[in-house]
Amino acid sequence: MPNTPLPHDHGQAIERILERVPSSAQFQLVADIFKQLGDGSRIRIFWLLCHCEECVINLSAMVDMSSPAVSHHLRQLKAGNLIVSRREGKEVYYRAAGTQQAQLLHHMIEQLVSITCPGDQPPL
């Protein structure tokens, strides 16, 4: 942050906080990640990919959506660096990225909707 004196001094010693304010680019990264939360279907696909690696056709069946619609969400998730893909022959498989951002988003989704990871549930 610039070292410019504030127009009004309210006695809060805000300068200490201003010295540690992240850059606009860092806040933009957060905004870009939160953009991924703008669609429930995309969140659902992302959550599934946190627990398995799947191809578009299987994902389409899992979420009852067309392959083009699922591909659209996958492109957005991939552009947001929340998922990664790998090719095996003609098939492309997707899974959640191993990044801190993807992990935090995964946990946030589960906390917000009070769901549990399938691996955390006791066997039936």
Judge whether residue 79 has pLDDT over 80.
yes
Q: Taking a C-beta distance cutoff of 8 angstroms, is the pair 82, 15 a contact? A: no
The string of pLDDT tens digits covering residues 24-72 is 888 888 888 788 778 999 999 999 999 999 999 999 999 999 999 999 9
Confidence at 122, pLDDT banded by 50, 70, 90: low
Which listed CATH number (2.30.30.30, 3.30.70.60, 1.10.10.10, 3.40.50.620) goes with 40-116?
A: 1.10.10.10
Q: How many CB atoms lie within 10 A of CB 71?
A: 16
Domain range summary for the chain, segments of one domain joined by +: 40-116
User: Could you tell me which residues are beta bridge partners of residue 88?
Assistant: 91
Give this prediction's pTM.
Answer: 0.75
- Mean pLDDT, the chain, rounded, equals 86
Strand residue runs (E) in the chain: 54-55, 83-88, 91-96
Which helix or strand (DSSP H or E) is residue 34 part of?
Answer: helix 24-35
